[in-house]
Structure 1
Amino acid sequence: MTSSPHLPDAPAPPPQPNLAFRALRGRRSPGEFAAAVRRSAREIGERVSCDARYIGRVEAGEIRCPNYAYERVFLHMFPGRTLADLGFAPRSVVRGRGARLTVADRHLPPHDPQHHEESDVRRRAFMTGMTGSTATVAVAALTPFGVVPPQTRQAPLDRHPARAGIGAVEEAIRRIRLLDDRHGGDGLYGRAAAPLRTAFELLDSGTASRDVTDRLQAGAGELAISVGWLAHDSGRFDDARSHYAEALATARVAGDDALEAHAFCNTAFLARDAGRPREAVRAAQAAARVGARLGSPRLLSLLALREAGGWAGLGDQRACERALARAQALFARGGTDADPEWMSFYGAAELAGLEAQCWSALGAWDRAALHARRAVALQDPHFTRNMALYTAELADDLARAGQIDEAAAAGGRALALLRDVRSSRVEGMLATTARVLLPHRRASGVAAFLTSQSKPRH
Structure 2
Amino acid sequence: MASSHASPPPRPNEAFRQLRGGRSPAEFAAAVRRAAREIGEQVSCDARYIGRVESGEIRCPNYAYERVFRHMFPGREPADMGFTPRNVVRGKRARGSAEASPRESGEPLTERAPAAPGIPFDSHKESDVLRRAFMTSGTAAMAAVSLGAVVPAPRSPRHAGEPEAVAVEQAVRRIRLLDDRHGADGLYRRAARPLRVAYELLDADTRRQSVADRLHAGAGELAISVGWLAHDSGRFADARSHYAEALATARVAGDPALEAHAFCNTSFLARDAGRPREAVRAAQAAQRAGRRLASPRLMSLLALREAGGWAGLEDRGACEEALTRARTLFERGAADADPEWMSFFGEAELEGLEAQCWSALGDWSRAADHARRAVGLQSPHFARNIALFTTQLASDLAHGGEPDAAAAAGDRALDLLAEVHSTRIKTMLATTARRLRHHPHEAEGFLSRYRHAVASGG
Deviation at 1:41, TM superposition (A): 4.6
Partner of 1:295: 294
String of CA shifts for 1:159-200, please: whole Å, max 9, x gaps: 932433111101001100110100001111101011111111
Partner of 1:451: 451
CA distance, structure 2, for counterparts of residue 44 and residue 305 of structure 1: 27
Establish whether residue 48 from structure 1 lines up as the match of residue 46 from structure 2. Answer: yes
Establish whether residue 261 from structure 1 lines up as the match of residue 260 from structure 2. Answer: yes
Tell me which of 128, 144, 147 is aligned to 2:145: 147
CA distance, structure 1, for counterparts of residue 301 and residue 390 of structure 2: 21
String of CA shifts for 1:55-101, please: whole Å, max 9, x gaps: 668873x410139xx95x986x55xx6xx9988xxxxxxxxxxxxxx
CA distance, structure 2, for counterparts of residue 86 and residue 398 of structure 1: 51
Tell me which of 30, 39, 45 is aligned to 2:16: 30
Distance 1:327 1:151, change over 3 A: closer
SS at 2:64's partner residue? coil
Distance 1:450 1:136, change over 3 A: closer
Q: How does 1:223-242 map to 2 (within 5 A)?
A: 223-242=222-241
Is contact 1:30-1:52 (8 Å) kept?
no
Deviation at 1:213, TM superposition (A): 1.0
Partner of 2:212: 213
Distance 1:43 1:162, change over 3 A: closer
Moved more, 361-370 or 448-457: 448-457
Partner of 1:15: none
Establish whether residue 116 from structure 1 lines up as the match of residue 108 from structure 2. Answer: yes
SS at 1:208's partner residue? coil
Distance 1:205 1:44, change over 3 A: closer
Deviation at 1:54, TM superposition (A): 2.7
CA distance, structure 2, for counterparts of residue 345 and residue 439 of structure 1: 36
- Which amino acid in 2 is paired with 1:184? G
Deviation at 1:154, TM superposition (A): 9.2
Partner of 2:319: 320
Distance 1:117 1:64, change over 3 A: farther
Distance 1:446 1:199, change over 3 A: closer
Count of paired positions: 393
Deviation at 1:380, TM superposition (A): 1.0
Is contact 1:185-1:230 (8 Å) kept?
yes
Partner of 1:310: 309
Is contact 1:214-1:254 (8 Å) kept?
yes
CA distance, structure 2, for counterparts of residue 359 and residue 175 of structure 1: 33
Partner of 1:16: none
String of CA shifts for 1:271-297, please: whole Å, max 9, x gaps: 000100000000000000110110100
- Which amino acid in 2 is paired with 1:33? L
Partner of 1:166: 165
- Which amino acid in 1 is paired with 2:303? A
CA distance, structure 1, for counterparts of residue 380 and residue 325 of structure 2: 28
SS at 1:333's partner residue? coil
More strand by share: 1
Partner of 2:9: none
Gaps of 5+ in 2: 1-12, 35-44, 79-98, 122-126, 135-139
CA distance, structure 1, for counterparts of residue 391 and residue 441 of structure 2: 21
CA distance, structure 2, for counterparts of residue 126 and residue 454 of structure 1: 42
Partner of 1:400: 399
Deviation at 1:452, TM superposition (A): 4.4
- Which amino acid in 2 is paired with 1:147? V
Deviation at 1:445, TM superposition (A): 3.5
CA distance, structure 1, for counterparts of residue 281 and residue 51 of structure 2: 40
Establish whether residue 284 from structure 1 lines up as the match of residue 276 from structure 2. Answer: no
CA distance, structure 2, for counterparts of residue 196 and residue 270 of structure 1: 20
CA distance, structure 1, for counterparts of residue 57 and residue 313 of structure 2: 51
Partner of 2:329: 330
- Which amino acid in 2 is paired with 1:454? V
CA distance, structure 2, for counterparts of residue 237 and residue 452 of structure 1: 28
Partner of 2:379: 380
Distance 1:194 1:446, change over 3 A: closer
Is contact 2:410-2:446 (8 Å) kept?
no
Is contact 2:102-2:109 (8 Å) kept?
no
CA distance, structure 2, for counterparts of residue 436 and residue 168 of structure 1: 46
CA distance, structure 2, for counterparts of residue 433 and residue 302 of structure 1: 27
CA distance, structure 2, for counterparts of residue 114 and residue 267 of structure 1: 36
Establish whether residue 202 from structure 1 lines up as the match of residue 188 from structure 2. Answer: no
Partner of 2:354: 355
CA distance, structure 1, for counterparts of residue 169 and residue 150 of structure 2: 19
Over aligned residue pairs, what C-alpha RMSD do you find? Answer: 3.4
Partner of 1:243: 242
Is contact 1:203-1:217 (8 Å) kept?
yes
- Which amino acid in 2 is paired with 1:352? E
CA distance, structure 2, for counterparts of residue 450 and residue 172 of structure 1: 35
- Which amino acid in 2 is paired with 1:293? R
Gaps of 5+ in 1: 1-26, 88-107, 128-133
CA distance, structure 1, for counterparts of residue 383 and residue 334 of structure 2: 23
Deviation at 1:33, TM superposition (A): 3.1
Partner of 1:7: none
Is contact 2:260-2:289 (8 Å) kept?
yes
TM superposition score normalised by structure 2: 0.77
String of CA shifts for 1:338-379, please: whole Å, max 9, x gaps: 100000000000000000000001111111001000000101
String of CA shifts for 1:378-405, please: whole Å, max 9, x gaps: 0112210000000000000000101001
Partner of 2:273: 274
- Which amino acid in 1 is paired with 2:335? T
- Which amino acid in 2 is paired with 1:32? Q
Deviation at 1:34, TM superposition (A): 4.6
- Which amino acid in 2 is paired with 1:29? A
